[in-house]
Amino acid sequence: MSKLFVISAPSGAGKTTLIKSLLENSSRNLRLGISCTTRSKRKNEINGESYFFKTKTEFAEMVKNGDLLESAEVFGNLYGTPKKWVQEQLSQDVDIILELDWQGAKQMKENYPDAVLIFILPPSLKALQERLNKRNQDSEGDIEKRLAQAKIEITNGSSFDQVIINDNFELAINDLNLIIHLNKKIPQERQDLVKNSLSQLLDQ
């Protein structure tokens, strides 16, 4: 039976890299979800592959008709997961991974209770700050905002169905593979590490 997985993480926790590796090496019929968006199409993006590009009027109509499993506004643009596309993929035995923030993930769970929510933790806020600095994509002020936002995300993500820690890439991808490909829990040692890390992260 096909499954729907939702993966969330604070910015800089390594979510995108983990998902890319998961998709490239999957033994299952696994596919990354395609969102609807009202933002302008960028060069080399293809409608129906990168995103489903919609006008704000079209998007509002989808919301009104209940055609989106979740939706959010990000930097003035609207994003949402189309119900019809998800249902079509699942009916064809395709497993789907959705990359969403914690709010979108919780909306998804409300509308699709069988969805498996997975949250990825950074090993520490200091490590997260170092990763954000290393990316060299944000100003110092933006990094401070992302770190403050990370605490909110971690607080909400701690209640997800599965929580893993990206302290070591190989161990983290192994945890994801156990959950997605084998429907197993991560090893007890890794579960204990998650509990300890959550305690430290939420106390900071």
pLDDT reported for residue 113: 93
Question: What torsion do the CA atoms of 167, 165, 90, 77 make, to the nearest 10 degrees?
Answer: -90
> Which residues does residue 78 pair with via DSSP β-bridges, in sequence order?
73
- The per-residue pLDDT for range 105-141, each reduced to its tens digit, is 999 999 999 999 999 999 888 887 887 777 766 677 7
* Side-chain-facing half-sphere of 182: CA atoms under 13 Å: 10
Question: What would the pLDDT profile of 133-153 be if each residue is shown by its tens digit?
Answer: 777 666 777 778 778 888 889
Q: Which residue has the higher pLDDT, 13 or 117?
A: 117
* Pairing, β 116-121 against β 68-74: unpaired
Q: Is the pLDDT of residue 204 over 70?
A: no
User: What was the pLDDT predicted at 138?
Assistant: 67
- Bridge partners of 164, per DSSP, are 120
Sheet containing 30-32: which strands, arranged edge to edge? Answer: 30-32, 95-99, 4-8, 116-121, 162-165
**Rounded distance, CA 112 to CA 6, Å?**
11
- For residue 42 the two structure tokens come to 């960028």
Q: Does the pLDDT at position 173 exceed 70? A: yes
Helix (H) or strand (E) holding 116: strand 116-121
Dihedral, 98, 52, 153, 145 alpha carbons, nearest 10: 140
Q: What is the pLDDT of residue 146?
A: 78
Q: What's the chain's average pLDDT?
A: 90
Residues 4-203, CATH architecture: 3-Layer(aba) Sandwich (3.40)
Other Cβ atoms less than 10 A from the Cβ of 202: the count is 11
Assess whether pLDDT exceeds 70 at residue 1. yes
Check residue 189 and give its pLDDT: 95
pLDDT at 164 over 80: yes
Exposure of 202 in the CB half-sphere (CA atoms within 13 A): 15
Mean pLDDT in residue range 64-73: 94
For the stretch 19-63, pLDDT in tens is 999 999 887 789 999 999 999 998 889 999 889 999 999 999 999
CA distance 203 to 112: 32
CA distances from 15 to 71, 101, 142, 184 (A): 20, 11, 19, 20
Give the pLDDT of residue 165.
96
Check the CA dihedral 197-199-200-204 and report its sign: positive
Nearest to 120 by CA among 163, 184, 151, 179: 163
